[in-house]
Amino acid sequence: MKKITNTLFLILLFTGTGLISIAQTHPNLILTKEGVEKIRKNLGTVPMFDQVLATIKAEVDAEIEIGIKVPIPKDMAGGYTHERHKKNWFILQKAGNLYQITGDQKYAEYIRQSLLAYAKMFPTLPKHPTDRSYATGKIFWQCLNDANWLVYVSQAYDAVYDFMPKSERDFVEKDLFRPLAEWISTENPQFYNRVHNHSTWGNAAVGMIGLVMNDEALIQRALYGLKNDGLDNTMVDNDGGFIKVEGQNKAGFFAQLDYSFSPDGHFTEGPYYLRYAMTPFLLFAKSLANNRPDLKIYEYRNGILEKSIYSLLYETDTKGRFFPINDSQKGMSWNSREVVAAVDIAYLDFGNDPTLLSIAEKQGKVTLDVAGFKTAADIEKGLAKPFKHRSIAYNDGADGKHGGLGIIRTESADGGEICVVSKYAAHGMGHGHFDKLSYALYDEQGEVIQDYGAARWVNIDQKGGGRYLKENQSFAKQTIAHNALAVNETSHYQGKVKAAEASHPDQYFFDAKNPDIQAVSAKENNAYEGVKIHRTFVLLKDESFRNPILIDVLKVTSEKENQYDLPTWFQGHLLAASFDYARQMTSMTTLGQGHGYQHIWKEADGMSAGEPTQVTWFTPQTIGSGEVEGKIFTLTTSAIPNDELILGRAGASDPTFNLRPDPVFIQRRKATNSVFASVVESHGSYDPVSEIPISPFPSMESVKVLLDSEAYTVVQITHESGKTWTLAIANIDASEARNHQVTIEKEIFEWKGPYILK
Amino acid sequence: MKKITNTLFLILLFTGTGLISIAQTHPNLILTKEGVEKIRKNLGTVPMFDQVLATIKAEVDAEIEIGIKVPIPKDMAGGYTHERHKKNWFILQKAGNLYQITGDQKYAEYIRQSLLAYAKMFPTLPKHPTDRSYATGKIFWQCLNDANWLVYVSQAYDAVYDFMPKSERDFVEKDLFRPLAEWISTENPQFYNRVHNHSTWGNAAVGMIGLVMNDEALIQRALYGLKNDGLDNTMVDNDGGFIKVEGQNKAGFFAQLDYSFSPDGHFTEGPYYLRYAMTPFLLFAKSLANNRPDLKIYEYRNGILEKSIYSLLYETDTKGRFFPINDSQKGMSWNSREVVAAVDIAYLDFGNDPTLLSIAEKQGKVTLDVAGFKTAADIEKGLAKPFKHRSIAYNDGADGKHGGLGIIRTESADGGEICVVSKYAAHGMGHGHFDKLSYALYDEQGEVIQDYGAARWVNIDQKGGGRYLKENQSFAKQTIAHNALAVNETSHYQGKVKAAEASHPDQYFFDAKNPDIQAVSAKENNAYEGVKIHRTFVLLKDESFRNPILIDVLKVTSEKENQYDLPTWFQGHLLAASFDYARQMTSMTTLGQGHGYQHIWKEADGMSAGEPTQVTWFTPQTIGSGEVEGKIFTLTTSAIPNDELILGRAGASDPTFNLRPDPVFIQRRKATNSVFASVVESHGSYDPVSEIPISPFPSMESVKVLLDSEAYTVVQITHESGKTWTLAIANIDASEARNHQVTIEKEIFEWKGPYILK
């Protein structure tokens, strides 16, 4: 308390231009007097920033022209009142920055009038009439959006604080800001007092308005949560996530920082939600850095905020689109406004990493503040250096011991990339999917083998009001919807969140030292009772192959016989399969009854006759000018006689066409212990302008399991030239120093460490 | 004959640099001595051309490094011997140009050795062992490819004619060129003596090698065909096209020019095939222009070749992709090598149209000859002007009286475009589809309502050897696969080519004078006995709508009751439908038994309860940087009670996954006389980065048929604002001067001309 009070005194600063005095006054959240000075002085010298200023000015001017609209709240997301109030928060925040930067009082006046209108309306508002959220808001259907509003409007209020007479400030604080802060905290503890991205917004909102109003009680509540929330352990939110997690008794912003990230910055819900959560983390942190330097918020947990921004950037494909693990809408990318802000703040406050400038260049915009100004100015100076994706293993869980996400990626010959995302993470809370040891494969254009993402069309009213669709639960979260092993037509942990949250897979090893041979391996022992799964992915770059290939070895151990289904959700159109299959010609039924199977049309099935078992598909990819070029991929598996080979398509049991009709290949086997070994290669290409297929056939001849014991699994792959590679995995001891030896057909095979490929 | 002989004398030319003498010698086909001189002198001054030279040099050098490969022919397209001989023809032609331009004898030597190898092999060749074509070749599975080979290799031979000793020339002419020319002409008259794009290649091949060898008999055969071909009228080719067309008794190159195009340059098979046919037309024409100026080939039929090139360019979407009418592989565009050559020749020889340079810029390459050089040099000089697509009506048939293709297009507010392609053309011979009065809708990104194109993966061996698939006949050609009216589950003309070729729809009117209201209207009276169809499309640009809207009025007349099915093959994912429908949840069957219906899964159906009947879909569109942005479209129809409303998807009865699983909406009505009126609007957009839907709901409230009589059809459309437009069509008299008057609910409605919209 003492330290905080100190910062309210006048501070004397010596700068190059002389001695000036700065009062701890407004703006003091994201903008500061000093920062505003700097921007004003340099207007006209940084084209990218000037462009942003002009664009935002035009946008806000148009809104001022239309006039202030503060309708009585009534709609769900997508509806008029929701979208209008949402627009207001953005416009008000922008107007505040415009007022500070341009000095034009029309922006301050617009904010003032808006705040008065909100303050006049707010006391009349009951709980939002929709009442469909676990935490219904006042201005919006959920407290979350009320908190969003407050995070942005706090900034607007900060910008015009000195402009408004004290009597009006008292009015808006008493009738709008304080009661709203109470609504989203003390009156909705189930929203406010969690470790969850929703609550981070709540904490930041309360903290930021607290900073503007210099209300120490609100600031403390933001940092440390509510003392007594009276919440019990069985409450769930609208996504089915538990409000309370056992062992986590803290709340507030510091608790979010403690529990939301792994020690290396991974966010357990995945990058789509981290992107969303990032805004309150960074805006509140920045506000605290400006106002409470004693908290050393940027250094907290060894710089967890900086790490989290980099995790966001590394968990993307080459075009910056987030890997859509857990509930994620496809296509969300580092071009989103949240990441624009994160990159600019990271550049300004975390050491001026020049590779961040190249991302800002791709984003093509910056924030209208000091961070954005510095970023734009340094791009203008030519300081940008290319951002390089790299192989990286992220641990999951606050303690970093709850599995993780292994990303291995390698450049292909023509400047492209092959990237494997191996997911052995903890269950992503309410947004988690039952996809232990699943993976997705990318090339430089995008998905080759996809993670379906969420069954949701965010903000599209026609699709269930833009909220999660029921097929998100019944399909997208289920195991069979992923490239993961489903046992006995049941999802992992029987599809139960509580059980899934109580456990997690473990990384077995991760090796990215040699760019030509990289590997990631993980184990899952709890998803099914009595079943252990161990999966290893290796990327091999070798001149025999046009592009690096993926080797996938999935070992399953069980004393009793099970039905194993291993799906491959390939992106594209089936070109050929090496086995005979019977296509359903005039009628078609679903693959099963539940656990997602009811959503898959069984289009065709066949029986493996043995090696080689191959599925080849064509993936159209749109390139720069809008032309379509396609690539040709082949999966070669170690299918054994009597494996059932199924071709299916999503979209059954889907009364309102919520699912994409995506294709899947499923390898089905009845066995106890077994190994599924396969290779995916990107071998061919075709574009409809030249009409010349380049290398349309796979170069992989076969994939064979040579040995499988408790201790060792050995797989051999054979190239059409006859050249072979052998992948040997030590299943029990992953230590680097350990020597291993197996004998296969009288030949002795020796290596050191958890695996070898040669 | 006298004139032709004259050109063999020496010609004296006076140029700026002095008096030089040019003998009528080699090269004399596409390249000429004079042209080569000009290129040589200016090497290094035109970067685009130098780049092309460097690229082709690298490509040919790599092939010279590998060594000459002339395998004994045995494979189908896609197989090794096919692809190798195909590669040879391109490499030999390029090597010839390189020899002429660089003077490096290694290129001449490579050609010489190759020709000797071919000449050594050729006499040993039987008919190609595949024997699967109506005209089997020697080097390839079909004569067509033998002719392709000869068109290119003639140029190579021309380039090295003076380099090779006479004894070797005699050898290759006697053992290779002459017998090959005979094979594709006298020995396969069913290939050579047709009016067909295949035969154009044959004619050009025979003519071009004739010009190089100065063999007047071959030249005459190329120009005028075989005198007696002994062909009968019932023969068909592999595509089911008739070899002989009644009333066409001419053959040879002039006959191709006479009968292949309408008087305004439209090609009855459509632009995909015109692109393919263009090469022999232009290469042989260019050779004739260089060698037989007396023929005035470029002026023939009022400059039909120039017109045909422009028809190729105008029958494309904004990205230059051909409208895929008839058998066309999607994605083929003006970036193809054939159009690169066509644009360069057109620029050089048809008046230096500066808008062609902007297309050449987009193509990013030019031909390695004088035309390419001139094009690149003028781009370098900054002479390029934008090429503008425009509304245009092409007539079909050699006499221009066999219907046509009406293209109306208008700019949308944000620099985009809405384009309607209305097809009322003659049947496209063996490649024709039964799609009378069908249409397709485009915006600036591509297809909104698609023409399926062909069921074929050209050159992809895994899909039926890259040839037409049987689903091309059973689905892609059928009426229900198009946005065309299918009556009683039967295709137009019962799917019979001979009947379809004997008739054609007729244009009723075309009006593109006012860019804000454009219309095209056509009638089809013969596709079904006793059924007359009249369809009118109007594009309306008005500030009430975000983008121009399409109004579609289909009037069908029949004394007896029929089942009418009007499909809309929308591109994208169904967002919403205004009517109740029952989706097939756990099993699904086909829509019908034949005429393409057996290939459509019936996914859902519902019943119209009256106005408004709307279907809204989301079309993801990939933009520049690889990001996906989507648009939202709505079809609003005048469905009446008891219309059955069906949602379906292609892909049934398709044993090897040859069809794309594309969605369709089908409006089904049982009636005698009836009108289907509808509006398609592009009203919304959504991108997954901002997650903000812009205008996701249609602004069209209803579409109503106010009046339908033999003489008049009047449709009213109502905007959500209450604003209405009335479209009145005079069904009998399309004259501009005629006054019309109808009374609707006691209101008198008057206009002049075939239609009015107000």
Chain A partners within 8 Å of B623 (Cβ): 626
Task: Give bridge partners of residue B648 from the DSSP assignment.
Answer: B602, B664
Phi, psi for A445 (deg, rounded to 5): -95, -25
Find residues 166-205 of chain B whose CB sits inside 8 Å of chain A.
none
Quote the Cα angle for A385-A386-A387, to 5°: 115
Q: Residue for token digits 């120490």?
A: A216
pLDDT of B430: 85
Mean per-residue pLDDT over chain B, rounded:
93
B247 pLDDT band (50/70/90 cuts)?
Answer: low
Q: What tokens appear for B722 in the block?
A: 């209450």
Q: How far is B558 from chain A (nearest CA, A)?
A: 32
How far is B717 from B699, CA to CA, in rounded Å?
11
Asked if B4 reaches chain A (Cβ–Cβ under 8 Å), the answer is: no
Q: What DSSP character marks residue B736?
A: T
Comparing C-alpha atoms, which of B533, B553, B451, B537 is closest to residue B492? B533
Q: Which of A573, A586, A660 sits opposite B573 (nearest CB)?
A: A660
Q: Which of residues 511-550 of B touch A (CB under 8 A)?
A: none
* Helix-then-strand count for chain A, H and E: 19, 28
CB contact under 8 A, A687 and B601: no
Strand partners, A393: A406
State yes or no: pLDDT of B85 exceeds 90: yes
Strand partners, B602: B648
Are A292 and A419 in contact by the 8 Å Cβ rule? The answer is no
Q: Cα distance from A574 to chain B (closest Cα, Å)?
A: 7
**Which residues 257-316 on chain A approach chain B with CB closer than 8 angstroms?**
none
A84 — contact with chain B (CB < 8 Å)? no
Place of tokens 């997705």: A440
CB distance B590–A590 less than 8 Å?
no
- Cα A580 to chain centroid distance, Å, stands at 40
Pairwise CA distance, residues A356 & A346, whole Å: 8
A588 vs B460, B588, B657: nearest CB: B588
Catalytic residue, candidates A26, A196, A427, A431: A431
Interface mutation vs chain B, best among A444, A462, A600, most B CBs within 10 Å: A462
B431 is catalytic: yes
Is B63 near chain A, with CB under 8 Å?
no
What residue spans define the domains of chain B?
31-51+263-389, 68-260, 392-451+466-757
Task: Give the model's pLDDT for residue A626.
Answer: 55
Q: Cα separation of B316 and B326, whole Å?
A: 14
What's the pLDDT band for B510 if we cut at 50, 70, 90? Answer: very high
Q: What is the dihedral of CA B701, B703, B707, B708, to 10 degrees?
A: -170
B353 or B249, which is more confident: B353
Size of interface A-B (CB pairs under 8 A): 162
pLDDT at B415 over 90: no
pLDDT 10s digits, B139-184: 999 999 999 999 999 999 999 999 999 999 999 999 999 999 999 9
Considering only the top CATH level, what class is A392-451+466-757? mainly beta
Determine whether the interchain pair A575/B653 forms a contact, defined as Cβ–Cβ distance below 8 Å: no
Element (H, E) at B137: none
Three-state secondary-structure class, residue A393: strand
CB of B712 within 8 A of CB of B659? Answer: no
Q: Do A590 and B586 touch (CB under 8 A)?
A: yes
- Among B83, B475, B586, pick the best mutation site for testing chain A contact (most A Cβ within 10 A): B586
Alpha helices in A364-469 (DSSP H): 370-380
Which residues in chain B have their CB less than 8 angstroms from residue A654's CB?
583, 585
B692 contact A CB<8A: yes
- Chain A residues with CB under 8 Å of B460 CB are 575, 618, 686, 693, 696
pLDDT at A23: 40
Is B332 in CB contact (< 8 Å) with chain A?
Answer: yes
pLDDT over 80 at A88, yes or no: yes
Across the interface, whether the CB atoms of B362 and A585 are under 8 A apart is answered: no
Cross-chain Cβ contact A696/B461 below 8 Å: yes
Range A497-513 average pLDDT: 96
pLDDT in tens, A352-376: 999 999 999 999 999 999 999 999 9
User: What average pLDDT does the segment A730-750 reach?
Assistant: 94
Which residues of chain A lie closer than 8 angstroms to B590, CB-CB? 586-587
User: Is the pLDDT score of B268 beyond 60?
Assistant: yes
Nearest to A625 among B319, B461, B661 (CB): B319
- Give me the interface pTM, i.e. the ipTM: 0.91
Question: Does residue A526 carry a pLDDT above 60?
Answer: yes
- Determine the distance in angstroms separating the CA of B381 from the nearest CA of chain A, rounded to an integer: 24
Residue B697 has pLDDT above 50, yes or no: yes
pLDDT, mean of residues A298-302: 97
- Per DSSP, the three-state class of A570 is strand
Say whether residue A622 is in contact with chain B using an 8 A CB cutoff.
Answer: yes
Share of chain A above pLDDT 70, in %: 95
B45 CB within 8 Å of a chain A CB = no
Active-site choice (B82, B196, B427, B431) = B431
Q: Does B694 touch chain A (CB under 8 A)?
A: no
Could you count the other beta carbons within 10 Å of the beta carbon of residue A8? 12
Interchain CB contact of B616 with A (< 8 Å): yes
In angstroms and rounded to an integer, the radius of gyration of the C-alpha atoms of chain A is 28
Least Cα separation, residue B610 to chain A (angstroms): 21
Is it the case that residue B9 has pLDDT exceeding 70? Answer: no
Q: Which of B585, B653, B687 sits opposite A652 (nearest CB)?
A: B585
What confidence tens digit (pLDDT) does each residue in A97-151 have? 999 999 999 999 999 999 999 999 999 999 999 999 999 999 999 999 999 999 9
* Among the four given CATH numbers 1.50.10.100, 3.10.28.10, 2.60.450.10, 2.50.20.10, the one describing domain B68-260: 1.50.10.100
Complete DSSP assignment for B362-416: HHT---SSHHHHHHHHHHHTT---------EEEE-STTS-S-EEEEEEEE-TTS-
In this prediction, residue A19 carries a pLDDT of 35
Give the nearest chain B residue to A598 (CA atoms): B586
State yes or no: pLDDT of B43 exceeds 70: yes
* Chain segment B669-696, per-residue pLDDT in tens: 999 999 999 999 999 999 999 998 999 9
- Say whether A666 sits in a helix, a strand or coil: strand
Cα gap A471→A490, rounded to integer Å:
16
User: Cβ of B583 and A654 within 8 Å?
Assistant: yes
C-beta atoms of A689 and B335 within 8 A: yes
Q: Is the pLDDT of residue A412 over 50?
A: yes
pLDDT category of residue B627 using cuts at 50, 70 and 90: low
A461 vs B387: CA distance, rounded Å: 40
Task: Report residue B539 as tokens.
Answer: 């594009």
Is residue B12 scored above 50 in pLDDT? no
Does residue A8 carry a pLDDT above 60? Answer: no
Residue B441: predicted pLDDT: 98
Mean pLDDT for the stretch of residues B400-412: 96
First and final CA of chain B: distance in angstroms? Answer: 63
Which of A205-219, B8-22, B64-78 is least confident? B8-22
User: Per the CATH hierarchy, to which homologous superfamily does domain B31-51+263-389 belong?
Assistant: Chondroitin AC/alginate lyase (1.50.10.100)
For range A553-578, the mean pLDDT:
97
Note whether B470 contacts A: Cβ–Cβ < 8 A. no
pLDDT score recorded for residue A527: 98
Instruction: Tell me, yes or no, if the two domains A31-51+263-389 and A68-260 fold the same way.
Output: yes
pLDDT of residue B623: 58
Active site residue A431: yes
Residue of A nearest to B333 (CA): A689
Nearest to A692 among B459, B601, B652 (CB): B459
| Token representation of residue A100 | 């500070």
B693/A460 CB distance under 8 A:
yes
Per-residue model confidence (pLDDT) at position B10? 37
B603 chain-A contacts, CB cut-off 8 A: 657
Is the Cβ pair A588, B601 closer than 8 Å? Answer: yes
pLDDT digits (tens, 9 = 90+) for B520-569: 999 999 999 999 999 999 999 999 999 999 999 999 999 999 999 999 99
CB-facing half-sphere around the CA of B642: CA atoms within 13 A: 5
Residue A621: predicted pLDDT: 76
